[in-house]
Every structure is written in structure tokens, then in C-alpha cells.
Chains A and B, each alone.
Chain A
């Protein structure tokens, strides 16, 4: 269980990126976070990943406080961020350094197979397309069986067809070990098709505007997903129109 309690982040320049955010994710749950620019989506993910430090509040994974990168967490960035000097297989196995070589090879082979890149193991990242590189990044995050996977708009730079393809690969990998997924996206259709629950955020400072639980998540029912996407879009418009919360004055 991932528990985020009263999480706030104010940057050194005084920008309040997040304010009092509370959210719990059950094991195996996929929660999508949607919101406009400046609503703190990426900040939230960076705090959970342990890349930044919160100003206030706490993040716990199965009761243990997270105050830095944690072995139970995996992260897929907006860009693939593959290490260009490593082969595709070496990139996928990058985080498995402490495992026996045979296990490492087997895990890498399985992960690459799941994302349809088994025959690209020996290639350099530069030889792959953007979509293929992002599939490698997803395989790299999944390969160590994280309990929680954080996805920071990993499909945003891809065309619609490639995005659909990656959704399929993501769900195939997720179905194997069912990690908890926290997906940040600006695409409400994507949130509607992948998530169990969608958190709509509002900006200045970033906080939860509304949470929507989906009736039949990942059912493949296009009409239902379209209805959910329309609801989310309306909520998103509403969140962006909402007046900013006044900054508390200190005496």
C-alpha cells in the first residue's frame, strides 16, 4: 500500500507546487493523475520517487517512510533516458547489478520479450525509434519487479498508434506481477483506458480537485471509455477555472 499524507512542496523561489495532498493506492491498483500545467503532477511523482524532498507531509510504502529512491519503486520518465553507451539488453538490466548473472539474463530476456524487442537486445539505443526506446524504458522499470511503478507521461511524445501499442505492452507487463501504478498524464482518454481510479488535480498550488473511480476499468468498452474521458475533461476544465487558493498570511 502506497500512502501519501498531507504532501506539500514549496521550491526555494517560493513556488508552491503541491499543497496538502493525501492519496492512498492499493496494491495492484492503477491510479492516473491528470491535470493542467503547473498543477504539480510531475512534482508529486518526483517526491514519491525520492528524487526531491517534500517540504511537509509523508510518503509510506507498506508502512516504511520513503525519503529517497527506494528498491520497491520503479520510474519511467517522460523521455526514455536510456544510457547511450549501453546496449538495449544492458540498459534493461541496468538496475539488476546485484543479481546473479544467469538471473539477470533471464529477467532481461523476459522483459524484452514482453515489450516485443527480444531481437533488439544487442543494438544501441540510437538504432531504435522513439517508441521502441520508450518500450525499453518500460522494460527497465519492470525488470526488477517493483511494488510500485511511477509513470511520468511516458507516452506523451509518441504518435497515437505507438501510444496504443505501448499501452498494450504496459498492461501485459502489469498483468504478470500486478504492481501498483501511479500514472501521470495529460491525456484523459489514456487515463480512462488504463486506470482504476483517476485523480484530477488543480493548480496554484497543486492539489486534488476530484477523484473518479471507474466502474469497469480496462474493459475495452470504447463507448464507456469515451464517456469517462468526457467526464474527466469536464472536471479538468472545471479545475482550471477554479480560483487559486489564497496564500496564507503570517502575522
Chain B
């Protein structure tokens, strides 16, 4: 079976045409794929690398002081020092745990409520106007209330992140359900699928692409909100490193924390894309054409 070909219902053992791909072809295609990935990686870091080098040179040549914006070498040194003392691991773990808990709670609730309002008109008329109004409230406005209700420990932080994740996931899922092609639903009706079977065999796969985009947006917002949550008063976490750096005048630590945030956010997004890519192999997308 060639890459990107569906798993055949009929075929047994080998590919749809009954033959196994030859190793040299596979190896060539793998090398081509790896080459393309490498090329994309180089392109992706080209601009940040050029900016960092430019700034480093500007400071070393005396064109800039670098007191408030330290050179990349110092930022990397700080990051390395934090890693060597084990502090970085501690802060990264704390931040990741909060994001993970908030993301699971917010995305779970967003999918559930989005599915409800997307499929049941009564639920839509009942819930959607209130949720849309709540969505318009800046999430940071909830902070005083969450502190009042839930204290200053972990719970309000996770809840704030969950709120941040909930809304894009909710809007994405309910929107994806609302835009499912009526013609495909009619195919299910012609084959007399029950409501449950229709949801499982037509709606679920049809809303999957939109849901995954919503989850990616939600995850990004999870990282955005963890900073706000950790600014609420934390003794560990990358957000804490930011506050600590500001209070003690350590811009290199602030930038090191920002770098760590960028790396973690990109890594988490990449993992989500990687984990869900097999589910979307069927899509006829323009990537690779444009």
C-alpha cells in the first residue's frame, strides 16, 4: 500500500494491490521526507536565529548595552544554569501539570457542551446565548472571583486555564457540528442509521478536523492562561520565574522563562498535531500544493 492510502476492507496482509512496497523505493521516499522535514526546520528557525545573532553582535560590538535586553548568550547561560540546578525541571513540571489539568478539564467540557448545543436545539437555545456572553468577558476578570472562591493554591489556577481552554473548544466543536454537510447526514438516513450510529459514523468523523483545530487553539490559550494563573501567586512554575525576574531585575531570567514557554508551547502543539495526524489522513488538503 502506498503512503496515504486508506486501509482496505478487502485486502488481507499486504496493500490494496496485494504487493509490498520495494525497500529501495521506501528508503528513497523516507530520505525525501526526512530531507523536506529538515529543510522546513531550518526555514522555521532562520528568522529567530538571525535576530538572535544580530542582537548578540550588536551588544558585542558595543552598538547596544543589553542591560534590559541581554544578549542571547547570557539568556542561554541562565537557562542552562537553571537546568543544571534542577530549577528549570521543577518550574517546567509545575507549569505543564497546570496546563495539562486545565486543558483536559476545559477541552472535555468544551467538547461535551459543544456537542450538546450542536446537536440539540433546546440545549443550543438554552445555553448558547449565556455562553457567548460569558465568552466576551475577559478571562482575567474572573481572577479576583476565583481567588475569593477557591483560594490561591492550585485549584483557581487550573480553573482559570480550563476557562481559557473551554471557550475556543466549545465554539469550534459546536460550529463544526453546525456545519456538517447535510448531504452526508442524508446518506446516513438512507441507510437507516439510528441517532447514535449517525453520531458515531457520520457526525464524529465529520467534525473531527474542526475539533482538532479547536483543540490546538485551546492548547495555545492554555499556555497563555497559565502565565496569568501563575501571576496570581505561585511559588513555582515558569510564570513564577517571570515575576521573580521582574521583582529582582533579572531580564535574562525573564527571557529564559519566555524561551521555555515558547519551546514548551511549540512542543505541545507539535505533539498534538503528530498524535492526531493519522486521524486526518483522508483529508483532501491544499498543503503540499500551495
Contact = CB atoms under 8 A, between A and B. Distances in A.
A21 B20 CA distance: 57
A87 B205 contact: no
Contact of B16 (A70, A81, A122): A122
Contacts of A84: 282-284
Interface stretch (B3-11, B64-72, B139-147): B3-11
Given A84-B282, A122-B16, A51 B190 contact: yes
Contact of B282 (A69, A77, A104, A124): A124
Contacts of A120: 16
Nearest to B187: A81
A209 B67 CA distance: 90
A69 B11 contact: no
Contact of B191 (A68, A86, A94, A112): A94
B28 interface: no
Interface residues of B, number: 30
Residue from B4, B7, B8, B9 whose CB has the most chain A CB atoms within 10 Å: B9
B5 A83 contact: no
A95 B201 CA distance: 11
Interface residues of A, number: 39
A72 B263 CA distance: 58
Contacts of B281: 124
A91 to B, nearest CB: 9
A122 B11 contact: yes
Contacts, number: 94
Given A81-B183, A81-B186, A119-B16, A126 B282 contact: yes
Contacts of A93: 9
Contacts of A126: 282-284
Contact of B190 (A75, A79, A87, A108): A75
B189 interface: yes
B125 interface: no
B16 A123 contact: yes
Nearest to B1: A122
A89 B10 contact: yes
Contacts of B284: 84, 124, 126
Contacts of B17: 119, 122
B30 to A, nearest CB: 21
B184 interface: yes
A122 B15 contact: yes
Interface string B1-43: 1001111111100011100000000000000000000000000
Contacts of A112: 10
B189 A121 contact: no
A244 interface: no
B109 interface: no
Interface string A18-41: 000000000000000000000000
Given A86-B6, A105-B9, A122-B10, 12 more contacts: A51-B186, A69-B191, A75-B190, A81-B186, A84-B282, A85-B208, A90-B6, A121-B8, A121-B9, A122-B5, A122-B11, A127-B5
Interface of B: 1, 4-11, 15-17, 183-184, 186-187, 189-192, 197, 201-202, 205-206, 208, 281-284
14 contacts: A68-B192, A69-B190, A74-B190, A77-B187, A81-B184, A84-B283, A86-B6, A89-B8, A89-B10, A94-B187, A97-B191, A124-B4, A124-B5, A124-B281
Interface of A: 49-51, 68-71, 73-75, 77, 79, 81, 83-90, 93-95, 97, 104-105, 108-109, 112, 119-127
Among all A-B residue pairs, the 3 with the closest Cβ atoms: A122-B16, A122-B8, A87-B6
